[in-house]
Structure formats: C-alpha cells, structure tokens
C-alpha cells in the first residue's frame, strides 16, 4: 500500500469521525434548547404566581416559634 493510499484511507476515517461527532452535538444542542424553554416556562409561571400572591407566598415562609 502506497503512502498516498494510506493517507487517503486515514482522511476518510477522520471525515467519518467528524460527521459522527457533528450529529450528537446537534442533538445535544436541540435538547439543551428544549430544556431551556421548559425552564423559562417554569420561571414565567413562578413569576406570575408571585405577582398575584406575593404576600401569601412570603407569609408562608415566615418562621413561627423559632422553627
């Protein structure tokens, strides 16, 4: 096997590895974006509750009797 053939095969393997790594990275990015959207929605819901029931929310966390 000549040096050129060996280098060409090595180049093909590198390209395959890069392609295989790109797909999981794209999936991870999509999963992270979905998770971020879920967290943002949860934080928005908490914010809405605090806006409407802030006094009740704070009163629920006041320590009574040295607890």
Token pair 């819901």: residue: 45
What global pTM score does this model have?
0.45
**pLDDT of 8 higher than 60:** no
Dist. CA 48–CA 42, nearest whole Å: 10
**pLDDT of 4 higher than 90:** no
CB 44 within 8 Å of CB 36: no
pLDDT one-digit tens code per residue, 20-66: 666 677 788 989 999 999 999 999 998 888 888 888 877 777 767 65
């Amino acid at each position: 096997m000549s040096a050129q053939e060996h280098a060409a095969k090595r180049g093909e393997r590198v390209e395959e590895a890069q392609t295989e790594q790109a797909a999981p990275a794209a999936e991870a990015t999509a999963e992270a974006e979905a998770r971020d959207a879920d967290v943002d929605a949860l934080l928005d819901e908490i914010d809405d509750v605090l806006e409407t029931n802030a006094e009740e929310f704070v009163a629920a966390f006041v320590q009574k009797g040295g607890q």
